[in-house]
Structure 1
Amino acid sequence: MAETRGIPGTRQTIMRSAADLFAELGYRNTSLRAVAADAGCDPALIGHYFASKEALYDAVVAETVRPAELFREAIGRRDPGAAEWLLRHAVTDWGDPVQRRRILGVLRSALDLPAARERFTQSLVPEGIAGADEIRLALISSLLVGVMTSRHMGLLSPELAKDGDSAELVRALAPAVAALLVAEPAGGAGSDRSE
């Protein structure tokens, strides 16, 4: 088995197989043996790259759900243009059928298991982001997950649901995301409601 360790691309092949199986079966029903069979490798090789099924799932989440650094930049900019920039990056992933399937698989696994849900949630918020910014990102994430799921289920109008041309969807969502990105914290400037 030692000769197969370190073959270029093996780790990525394992992760692709795991992502596909998590998408199809969910976290709970995906076994490391099934991942190894799909990847065409010995199950022991998975242990060489990943300490556990949980570690493999963490790696799949990190590669599949990639908003943390995008969110950090968008929060740092705090301008309405950051919303469109963020949305264009998000809907690019939705337009790729393989990536969309994997994202939905990660979400399915997050619903399936509390530990998977916690890992998914942690992947959305960059390190060092807390307080009001963390709440903003949680709300933006919820909005994006809801829209992506609705789009996948065919609940959106055809103009917003079509793959390939996401400009209309970005325009429709941008004001809501911009409002969250540039919102003043409670008690901050603009919070005086007296008339």
Structure 2
Amino acid sequence: MDEETGAAAPDTPAEPAASGHARKPAGGEAAKAVEALRFDLLRCALYHDMRQRRLLGIHRALLFLTVLLGSGAVAAFGAMLPIVGQLAGAAVAAVSAAQLVWDFAVRARDHEDLRRRFYNLLSDLEKGAEVTAITAEMGQLFADEPPMVDATNRKAHDRAGQALFGDDFVRADGSHGGHGGPRSR
């Protein structure tokens, strides 16, 4: 339960009935469960979209630096000033090693795949698929996720809340709505 409002927390699963099966939410509870699931799916999709764009940007910048620093113009300039050639060679090695070790392009593709899969689940939810089935598939996707970047997750939370609820949501920083908070846009 949310201590401030007394409402059930959106991540709270349905309580098991005496028979051992999860009870189906009734009426308003079902709508709240769908709304909470819709929010989580959109937040996850937006998170992976932001991570993909960030990692692709890093990959492209490092690729640009590798090509630029390894170019003939830098080599010719390095012939006149040997220290420049040595620094350029060291920079190419460092940038190439960073690309090889952290593999930003592959990580971006992983986030692209996860984004697509979360949007597919959101589409299935909108088509009327069972909340329990979507929740189960979402749990499987969580197992495939890399470690979460908290700042990006907070941004995704705020963007999903703004998209679905307008000014009527609690931002990741605890403020309400789309204006007035320290991170309002």
TM-score normalised to structure 1 length: 0.24
Q: Which has the higher contact order (CA 8 A, sep 6+)?
A: 1
Larger radius of gyration: 2
TM-score normalised to structure 2 length: 0.25
Q: Which has the higher helix share?
A: 1
